């Protein structure tokens, strides 16, 4: 067994070979997740998670940050959408290893740990990561640097500075476009639209949302298409539970088409909170015009996942959209029970100053 291998001196060699193989594997998975065959590579990632957990633990035990930094840098974007919060925990532990700050992927590690704090609405921890010094040298990749900039923008969002955050996202999107990275240019242009929507500047948001979708269609990356269809649908969605406002878009039919496209594209994408959000908005549009057939099914996945993940900001806000659907179809008791779940969520008593929930 393992004890025999350790005493014979073979265990270290086996673990080294295992790490080497998995470093090649995670590089392939990261590239695959950013390509058109994303769903297959997501499934491959699920298969490899036990191996990755083992390597992260060995990195911590050996106080060797390099393997952990490499894994986190390949998966950083999945911490941003709240799907793999475990990655944020990995990043927190890897960042604590002496010398981690010398790794060129350290920016991605800090971003991932910081975004975990954002998702949990842990303001003190978020501020600590925001204040962490990261040396941006020429060998730091744009992907790692943009991940850090994304986290810094998110910190502005948490203090209600939506226009300021939109400007940060605009700069990241412009740099991505300059470098020829249409996927990231589309993602961050969509983020500009979302922040302007939160600031109730829907007229300014719509051109950014349309440009983001055009970029996403050119690059063909499934999750990016999901995100950009969702953003444009939100901007066009009247009286949205999150963006809301009387000045919101009035393109109900077009908004519905984009939410439907979001769900269809999701079949080839990695899972994300945005898919559940699109399904809920689609249900709300239909409920508001008096259609009830299928509305419950559209909300089912969102409700179940939201209640399980209610300590995550994405899903906590999504519960509010589900509650709006329940109200629209006259399920007032269900809406009240959901309001109770929102109120008693682990993050409900943490101040989110200025956030229009």
- Mean per-residue pLDDT for 264-268? 92
Taking the CB of residue 53, how many other CB atoms lie within 10 A of it?
A: 13
* CA–CA dist 340, 346 (Å, integer): 12
39-51 tens-digit pLDDT: 999 999 999 999 9
pLDDT of residue 229: 96
- Mean per-residue pLDDT for 15-35? 94
Instruction: Determine which helix (DSSP H) or strand (DSSP E) holds 20, and give its type and residue range.
Output: helix 11-33
Burial class (CB in 10 A: 0-12, 13-18, 19+), 230: buried
Query: DSSP state, 269?
Result: S
pLDDT of residue 92: 95
Task: Name the one residue in this structure whose structure tokens are 């923008």.
Answer: 153
The set of residues, in sequence order, having a beta carbon less than 8 Å from that of 209 and lying 6+ positions away, is: 189, 190, 193, 228, 231, 232, 234, 235
* CA–CA dist 132, 126 (Å, integer): 10
Q: Which two tokens stand for residue 74?
A: 């390949």
Task: Name the one residue in this structure whose structure tokens are 């995100």.
Answer: 227
Whether the per-residue pLDDT at 61 is higher than 60: the answer is yes
pLDDT band at residue 28 under the 50/70/90 scheme: very high
117-145 tens-digit pLDDT: 888 778 888 899 999 999 888 889 999 99
Helix, strand or coil for residue 212? helix
Separation of CA 71 from chain center: 17
């Amino acid at each position: 067994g393992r004890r025999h291998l350790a005493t014979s001196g073979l265990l270290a060699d086996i673990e080294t070979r295992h790490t080497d193989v998995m470093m090649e594997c995670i590089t392939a998975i990261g590239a695959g997740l950013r390509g058109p065959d994303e769903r297959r590579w997501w499934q491959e990632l699920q298969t490899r998670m036990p191996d990755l957990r083992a390597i992260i633990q060995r990195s911590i035990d050996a106080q060797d940050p390099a393997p952990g930094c490499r894994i986190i840098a390949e998966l950083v974007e999945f911490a941003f959408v709240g799907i793999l919060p475990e990655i944020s925990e990995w990043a927190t532990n890897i960042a604590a290893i002496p010398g981690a700050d010398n790794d060129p992927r350290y920016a991605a590690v800090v971003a991932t740990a910081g975004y975990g704090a954002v998702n949990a609405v842990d303001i003190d921890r978020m501020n600590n990561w925001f204040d962490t010094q990261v040396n941006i040298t020429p060998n730091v990749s744009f992907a790692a640097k943009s991940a850090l900039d994304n986290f810094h923008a998110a910190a502005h969002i948490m203090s209600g500075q939506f226009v300021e955050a939109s400007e940060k996202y605009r700069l990241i999107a412009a740099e991505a476009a300059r470098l020829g990275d249409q996927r990231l240019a589309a993602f961050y242009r969509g983020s500009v639209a979302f922040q302007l929507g939160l600031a109730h500047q829907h007229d300014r948001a719509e051109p950014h949302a349309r440009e983001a979708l055009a970029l996403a269609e050119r690059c063909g990356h499934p999750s990016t298409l999901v995100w950009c269809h969702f953003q444009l649908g939100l901007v066009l969605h009247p009286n949205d539970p999150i963006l809301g406002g009387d000045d919101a878009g009035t393109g109900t039919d077009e908004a519905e088409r984009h939410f439907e496209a979001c769900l269809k594209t999701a079949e080839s994408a990695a899972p994300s909170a945005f898919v559940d959000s699109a399904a809920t908005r689609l249900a709300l549009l239909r409920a508001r015009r008096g259609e009830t057939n299928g509305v419950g099914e559209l909300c089912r996945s969102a409700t179940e996942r939201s209640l399980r993940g209610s300590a995550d900001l994405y899903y906590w806000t999504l519960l509010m959209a589900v509650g709006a659907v329940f109200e629209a179809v006259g399920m007032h008791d269900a809406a009240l029970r959901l309001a109770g779940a929102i109120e008693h969520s682990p993050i409900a008593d943490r101040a989110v100053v200025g956030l229009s929930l």
